[in-house]
Amino acid sequence: MTPTTQQLFGMPETSKRPSLEIQTASAEHLPVIPRNGNGKKASTPVAKPDAAPPVLTPHSVEMEEAVLGAVLMEGVGVFRRIAWLTSDAFFIVRHGWIWDAMRRVADSDGVIDERTVAEALKARGQLEDIGGPAYLAHLISNTPTALYADVYAAIVQRAAVRRLLLDAAGEIARLAHNEDMDLDGVITEARQTLDKVCSQHRADGGFEASSVEGDRLMDSFGLGVDSKVSLGIKGLDMLLGGGLQGGQLMYVGGRPGMRKSHLLLHMAMQVAERGQGVAFITLEMKPRDHIYRLLAMKTGIPLKEIEVTHVTGEGPRRAEIYEAMAWVRNLPIYWSETARTPDKLRTELDALTRRESIALVLGDHQNLMRSGDAHVDRNDYARATYVTRQMKEINNLTSLPFVWAVQLGRAVEDRNDKRPLLSDFRDTGATEEDADVVLMLYRDDYYNETSQTPGVLNLLVRKNRQGELGSVDMRVEAPTFRLTEIGLTTYNLNKLVWGDAK
């Protein structure tokens, strides 16, 4: 969807993340449905006059539909992520049938969508019983986003384990009342009954078989750089192995004046011009300030001239600027200046990803984020640590690549060599620990009037979990904000020497 002018200057309304509560309903509103494709695994109890309301079997129809809808929306990739879920976990019988059909399609290396799942159900004579293709379409239309498929699946599994616990409790009660069994036998069978339930519980962060991770790799095999997001800087992409992977967190550190915002804007333009969506959190400048710079980068017209022409409506290159404004308007960049706490960011990203396809999240800059807790915010280190840890959690949850600018402390200024080091992150919480990639910026001409490299910005890759360390040099055109790549140097970890990249 093409963003409007209003969307370019602020984020639209937000929405809440999915509830983590298992939903129930009053028994008197639920009809007793026979056990069939549209029914449940147990008849709904009927409330008697003057009796206490019955306790319904734990389940969430909404979450079961969301799991299935998320897989139908996004296909086998989402299915592989939650393949640990079994059909027995679904309370609604037809939902279990649909899940089994999805598994059969995935196991045959097929593409999971409405048509393939419908064919798999039809082959078993279950398509009409589940409500036909119309019900599959309903599952998609009734699912807000596939982003939280893991959360939906966890809720479904949690309800399933609670049902198993209730069954186990009944069985243990029966054993306890059996006077024909000796006490040791009762305790042994009771323990075995409970152990069977415990084995069904999948704790958060639990172990997964190599086959699950292997399936995920197989699904993306041969996709090359398409499985990563290219940042539009060839040397940096090379060091990152083709680009930034979904779920990776990159920090761009530097002192004021090192062009952190400038670099993030260059990345945003490179990604958006390929038609990929970019979420840009701008906490230091207004969205309009960034758009002025995008116009300068596109047209090569100095920023001051663009600002004056926009205000007066007159100027020798008025037509060129106006044409570039139409170009900016069609870039899939979505701006927010209100996501100033991790919770607010999580909510806004949820709302945005429901409507738009987002490939990259950029933030300028993280030092201005607050925890949302006045007590925590009194201590800068505690605030920074809380924010970085929450950022990594959001990063993992959304499976989107994040790039955040971070302003470094004054320790850099006290050294003869002003090039920033990883240790300069010590005042920014857990930034250094949580980052997958750390990129640090340095401009020699900022500190030295007689610099031998005027107008050159050094991108120093100081940490890279998945690749090499090195330096990418870019030339900066100050009036137009254009960045041009001019060289790459890699650090050979084996020989411990610097050398030109081959």
- DSSP for 330-367, please give it: TS-EEEES---SHHHHHHHHHHHHHHS-EEEEEEE-GG
3-state secondary structure at position 5: helix
Contacts of 132 (CB under 8 A, 6+ apart): none
Contact 72, 138 (CB under 8 A): no
The CATH architecture one would assign to domain 27-218 is Orthogonal Bundle (1.10)
* Structure confidence at residue 280 (pLDDT): 92
| Distance of alpha carbon 270 from the chain centroid | 20
Q: Return the minimum-mean-pLDDT range out of 106-115, 158-167, 410-419, 422-431.
A: 422-431
Backbone angles phi, psi at 463, to 5 degrees: -145, 135
CATH class of 244-283+331-500: alpha beta
Q: Which residues of 369-402 are buried (b: 16+ CB within 10 A; e: fewer)?
A: bbbbeeeebeeeeebbbbbbebbbebbebbebbb
What would the pLDDT profile of 158-211 be if each residue is shown by its tens digit?
888 888 888 888 888 988 898 888 887 788 788 778 877 776 665 444 555 566
Is the confidence at residue 321, as pLDDT, over 80?
Answer: yes
Query: In the 3-class helix/strand/coil scheme, how is 41-106 assigned residue by residue?
Result: CCCCCCCCCCCCCCCCCCCCHHHHHHHHHHHHHHCHHHHHHCCCCCHHHCCEHHHHHHHHHHHHHH
Contact 461, 438 (CB under 8 A): yes
Q: What residue has token string 């960049």?
A: 333
Contact 458, 443 (CB under 8 A): yes
User: Per-domain residue ranges for the chain?
Assistant: 27-218, 244-283+331-500
* Structure confidence at residue 15 (pLDDT): 41
Is the confidence at residue 22, as pLDDT, over 80?
Answer: no
What would the pLDDT profile of 235-277 be if each residue is shown by its tens digit?
888 888 888 888 888 999 888 888 888 899 999 999 999 889 9
